[in-house]
Amino acid sequence: MVKELFETLLEEAGKILNIPELHPDRNHSCLVRLPNGLNIQIEMDPYQQGVILGCDLGGLPTGKYRENAFREALKINGQKAPHHGVLAYSNKSDHMILYELLPIKDLTGEKIADEITPFAEKALLWKEALAHGEIPVLSNIRTSGGMFGLRP
């Protein structure tokens, strides 16, 4: 049943995104290659509680740049929802990644398609910045205002 549900969700999302024949491969995942060069992996999470969107953003050299990138990623991850992806680091690939878990409850192909655009925008922003040795700083990052709106 889970396989059928995943296939149905991909088919619905593919129709909305005008991607013909969007379906899982033999590993029960689906790679979507976007015209802007991004590759977004879509798969069912191992516990079958949701669908995962994932994107490899590239490597980070060790040193101060990596520390600053992690710091900024943590700030962005700490923002209020919607996140359109969580920034993370993969020790296995030594790369920064962006992923999003879409809960399976009430999930539709339309909801997947609706999330792919802002997810891809965030992924592209980070991928391009990291490729140029930069760190995206979003103007809407806000730290906790603290008591009376004072900031440290």
The predicted-structure confidence for 29-88, as pLDDT tens digits, reads as follows 999 998 889 999 999 988 888 999 999 999 988 899 999 999 999 999 998 888 899 999
Tokens coding 98: 């962006």
pLDDT score for 138 = 63
pLDDT surpassing 50 at residue 149: no
Architecture of domain 2-133: 2-Layer Sandwich (3.30)
User: How far apart are the C-alpha atoms of 148 and 152, rounded to whole Å?
Assistant: 12
Instruction: Write out pLDDT tens, residues 72-129.
Output: 999 999 988 888 999 999 999 989 999 999 999 999 999 999 999 999 999 999 999 9
Domain regions of the chain by residue span:
2-133
The residue ranges of DSSP E strands in the chain, in sequence order, are 29-33, 39-44, 50-59, 86-90, 95-103
pLDDT of residue 83: 86
Res. 3 pLDDT band, cuts 50 70 90: low
> If DSSP codes are grouped into helix, strand and coil, which group holds residue 44?
strand
